[in-house]
Amino acid sequence: METRLPAGVQAAWRMLSQEGDTYLVGGAVRDLLLGRTPRDYDLATSVPPQRARAILGWREGALDAFGVLHGPEQSLEVVSLRSEGPYRDRRHPDVVRFGASLDEDLLRRDFTANALALDRSGRLHDPSGGLGDLRHGLLRTVGPAAERLEEDLLRILRAYRLAAELGWRLDPALRQTTRQLAHELRAVSPERIGEEIWRLLRAPGGYVPLRWADEDGVLRTVLPSLHPTRPIAGPLPRLVGWTRGDVNAAVSVWRQFAWPRGEQRLAEAALRLREAVSATGDRALWREALARAGSSAADILVLAGGSRRLAAFARVYGREGVLDRTRLLLRGAALASAEGLTGAEIGARERQLLLEIWRDPARIKHVSR
């Protein structure tokens, strides 16, 4: 198993093991057992934090206030074996005590499939039955669900996200607890919520867990405009296809989430285009709205689909493409020269020609998209 790890993780594991018991822990173990490539790696060691930093030769700033060492490569973290006190801020423990046993450290974790450890001999340590849950594709908390989720409320969203990424079921007790605590997600920062929602939208298996989140009242708290009603592929088509209600209200929430700005703009343009298409069957108005939105937004809307009118729009778009000023045979300086126009007259004439084209596309030669 160790030979499947990146060289930097192997080196850190080897160096720390020379001075204390050191284990690969958490999601990396889960993913390796599932035959997946981990996104990141955590090592847990009996070596105290400052000593571990010195052994590894990492800079002073690598050690954060909670005793976590962040490697020069973002995918590697090192933690000293610990137990924790209460989470009164519902995000961080009030007290961290180093020197705990491996089992104590694992039993403080969120889900059983993340409470696994491997030692360098390849032996698996599993005090909470995570291996059995892994085999059955079941996401279950370590200990009582209410206790684990109340420690860090973001674990509510993390449960649905992991179910989406792994294709697993949620333990019934876990879902029941998410229903009870969903309204308390208002206390979590929008940035943290947005990160989990974005990963849910991107997960190939995101539809069913997002539907569960909707049924359980979680989306009603964090993103009330989103209603997963049917399978759609791709994060932006999903976002557009599942968004209902006022577009301005939906977009204002997205902006709090600090999602990639370009992605937000595209999704908003697709929603504005959907509004325009849904409001009328006039093809000329569709073509005008399409020229404003552009092909990228139109592609997203076509993939989102959702109604007969949108299917009709997709046929028009597929046949004609985007009829914007680039499709004019004469525009700008060439138009000015041909018709003796100056200044604002050029733009007004382009607009007039476009209106004629939107009413009757046969007025221009077909140009391939």
DSSP track, 215-283? HTTHHHHH-TTB---S---SHHHHHHHHB-S-HHHHHHHHHHHT--HHHHHHHHHHHHHHHHHHH---H
Structure tokens at 97: 């005590």
DSSP state of 117: E
Domain count, the chain: 4
Out of 162, 192, 223, a domain closes at 223
* Residue 167 reports pLDDT greater than 80: yes
- Together in a domain, 22 and 132: yes
- Asked whether residue 289 falls in the same domain as residue 334, the answer is no
Statement to judge: residues 104 and 23 lie in one domain: yes
Considering the domain architecture, whether residues 270 and 294 belong to the same structural domain is answered as: yes
Domain residue limits at 167? 138-223
Q: If you search the block for the tokens 């705990």, which residue do you land on?
A: 100
Residues 3 and 126 occupy one common structural domain:
yes
Domain boundary at 223, 246, 278, which? Answer: 223
Domain shared by 332 and 284, yes or no: no
Question: Cβ distance 157 to 134 under 8 Å?
Answer: no
Domain with residue 159: its CATH number is 1.10.110.30
pLDDT of residue 354: 84
* pLDDT surpasses 70 at 14: yes
For the chain, where are the alpha helices, taking DSSP H only?
7-17, 27-33, 49-56, 102-106, 130-136, 145-151, 155-166, 172-181, 190-202, 207-215, 218-222, 235-242, 247-257, 261-279, 283-293, 295-304, 308-320, 332-339, 344-359
More confident residue, 94 or 282: 282
Shared domain for 316 and 331, answered yes or no, is no
Are 28 and 119 in a shared domain? Answer: yes
Q: Give the pLDDT of residue 348.
A: 81
Measured distance CA(290)–CA(151) in Å, rounded:
48
β-strand pairing of 169-170 with 138-139: parallel
Considering the domain architecture, whether residues 179 and 241 belong to the same structural domain is answered as: no
Q: What percent of the chain has pLDDT over 90?
A: 77
> Which residues make Cβ contacts (< 8 Å) with residue 106, sequence separation at least 6?
25, 115, 116, 117, 125, 127, 128, 142
* pTM value > 0.75: yes
Do 53 and 91 lie in a common domain? Answer: yes
DSSP state of 38: P
301 and 330 assigned to the same domain: no
Residue 44 is classified by DSSP as: E
Rounded Cα distance between 196 and 219, Å, is: 12
Same domain assignment for residues 132 and 53: yes
Residue 48, domain CATH = 3.30.460.10
φ, ψ dihedrals at 100, nearest 5°: -75, 165
- How far is Cα 188 from Cα 224, in angstroms, rounded to an integer? 16
**Domain end (from 114, 136, 158):** 136
The model's pLDDT over 301-342, given as tens digits with 9 standing for 90+, comes to: 999 999 999 999 999 999 999 998 887 776 767 777 777 777
Separation of alpha carbons 124 and 367, rounded Å = 63
pLDDT at 240: 97
> Of the candidates 16, 116, 24, which has an alpha carbon nearest to the alpha carbon of residue 56?
16
Identify the DSSP state of 76: E
Instruction: Let me know: does 24 contact 5? Beta carbons within 8 Å.
Output: yes
The pLDDT tens digits of the residues spanning 22-59 come to 999 999 999 999 999 999 999 999 999 999 999 999 99
